[in-house]
A and B are shown apart, each in its own frame.
Chain A
Amino acid sequence: MSQSAVDVPPKGGFSFDLCKRNDMLIQKGLKAPSFLKTGTTIVGLIFKDGVILGADTRATEGPIVADKNCEKIHYMAPNIYCCGAGTAADTEAVTDMVSSQLRLHRYQTGRDSRVITALTLLKKHLFSYQGHVSAALVLGGVDITGPHLHTIYPHGSTDTLPFATMGSGSLAAMSVFEAKYKEGLTRDEGIKLVAEAICSGIFNDLGSGSNVDICVITKGNKEYLRNYMEPNPRTYVSSKGYSFSKKTEVLLTKITPLMERVEITEVGEAMEE
Chain B
Amino acid sequence: MTKQHANWSPYDNNGGTCVAIAGSDYCVIAADTRMSTGYSILSRDYSKIHKLADKAVLSSSGFQADVKALQKVLKSRHLIYQHQHNKQMSCPAMAQLLSNTLYFKRFFPYYAFNVLGGLDAEGKGCVFTYDAVGSYEKVGYSAQGSGSTLIMPFLDNQLKSPSPLLLPAQDSITPLSEAEAVDLVKTVFASATERDIYTGDKLEIMILKADGIKTELIDLRKD
Contacts and interface: CB of A to CB of B under 8 A. Distances in A.
Interface of A: 27, 39, 58, 60, 63-65, 68, 168, 202-210, 231-232, 234-238, 240, 242, 244
B86 interface: no
Contacts of A236: 186-187, 189-190, 218, 220
Given A39-B39, A235-B218, A240 B183 contact: yes
A68 B39 contact: no
Contacts, number: 69
Q: For chain B, what secondary structure do more than half of its interface residues adopt (helix, strand, loop), or is it mixed?
A: mixed
Interface of B: 2, 36, 39-41, 146, 150, 157-158, 183-184, 186-187, 189-190, 193-198, 218-223
B2 A27 contact: yes
Nearest to B160: A245
Given A232-B223, A236-B187, A238-B186, A205 B40 contact: yes
Contact of A237 (B41, B190, B198, B220): B190
Given A232-B221, A232-B223, A235-B218, A206 B186 contact: no
Nearest to A56: B223
A51 B195 CA distance: 33
Given A205-B39, A210-B223, A235-B221, 19 more contacts: A39-B39, A39-B197, A63-B198, A64-B197, A65-B194, A65-B195, A65-B197, A203-B222, A204-B40, A206-B40, A207-B39, A209-B197, A232-B223, A234-B221, A235-B190, A235-B218, A235-B220, A236-B187, A237-B187
Contact of B158 (A60, A63, A209, A242): A242
B221 to A, nearest CB: 5
A209 B223 contact: yes
Most central of B183, B193, B220, B221 by chain A CB within 10 Å: B221
21 contacts: A39-B197, A60-B197, A65-B194, A65-B195, A204-B40, A206-B39, A207-B39, A209-B221, A209-B223, A210-B223, A232-B222, A234-B190, A234-B194, A235-B193, A235-B221, A236-B220, A237-B190, A238-B183, A238-B184, A238-B186, A242-B187
Most central of B36, B190, B223 by chain A CB within 10 Å: B223
A204 B39 CA distance: 9
A204 B194 contact: no
Lowest 3 CB-CB distances: which A-B pairs, in order?
Answer: A209-B223, A236-B190, A206-B197
A228 to B, nearest CB: 15
Contacts of B220: 235-236
A158 B215 CA distance: 53
Most central of A202, A210, A236 by chain B CB within 10 Å: A236
A203 B223 contact: yes
Most central of A210, A232, A240 by chain B CB within 10 Å: A232
B195 A64 contact: yes
A63 to B, nearest CB: 6
Contacts of B183: 238, 240
Nearest to B187: A238
Given A236-B187, A242-B187, A208 B223 contact: yes
Contacts of B219: 235
